[in-house]
Amino acid sequence: MINPCAIIPIYNHKDTIEGVLASLEPLSLPCIIVDDGSDSATQQVLASVTARYPWTHLIRQAPNAGKGIALITGFRHAAAAGYTHVVQVDADGQHHSADISRFLEAAAAHPEALILGKPIFGDDVPRARYFGRKISVWCAWAETLSRDIGDPLFGFRVYPLASTLAVGKRYRLGSRMDFDPEIAVRLYWAGVSMHNINTPVLYPAGGVSHFRLLRDNVRISWMHTRLLMGMVFRLPRLLRRRWGA
> Would you place residue 204 in the very low, low, confident or very high pLDDT band (cuts 50, 70, 90)?
low
| CA distances, 206 to each of 16, 88, 196, 209 (Å) | 7, 21, 29, 10
What does the pLDDT read at residue 224? Answer: 92
Fill in the amino acid letter for 75: F
> Would you place residue 154 in the very low, low, confident or very high pLDDT band (cuts 50, 70, 90)?
very high
Q: Which of 53, 7, 13, 54 is CA-nearest to residue 33?
A: 7
pLDDT in tens, 99-141: 999 999 999 999 999 999 999 987 666 665 666 678 889 999 9
What does the pLDDT read at residue 176? Answer: 86
Mean pLDDT of 17-40: 96
Q: Which of 201, 175, 182 is CA-nearest to residue 92?
A: 201
pLDDT tops 70 at residue 209: no
Burial class (CB in 10 A: 0-12, 13-18, 19+), 24: buried
pLDDT tops 60 at residue 208: no
pLDDT in tens, 29-41: 999 999 999 999 9
**Left (φ > 0), alpha (ψ -120 to 50) or beta: where does 194 sit?**
beta
Asked if 179 contacts 66 with a C-beta cutoff of 8 angstroms, the reply is yes
What does the pLDDT read at residue 203? Answer: 75
Domains of the chain by residue range: 4-242
> Would you place residue 4 in the very low, low, confident or very high pLDDT band (cuts 50, 70, 90)?
very high
Mean pLDDT of 141-164: 96
Asked if 37 contacts 61 with a C-beta cutoff of 8 angstroms, the reply is yes
Question: Is the domain covering 4-242 a CATH 1.10.3720.10 domain?
Answer: no
Q: At what angle do helices 213-233 and 235-242 cross, to 10 degrees?
A: 90
What does the pLDDT read at residue 210? Answer: 55
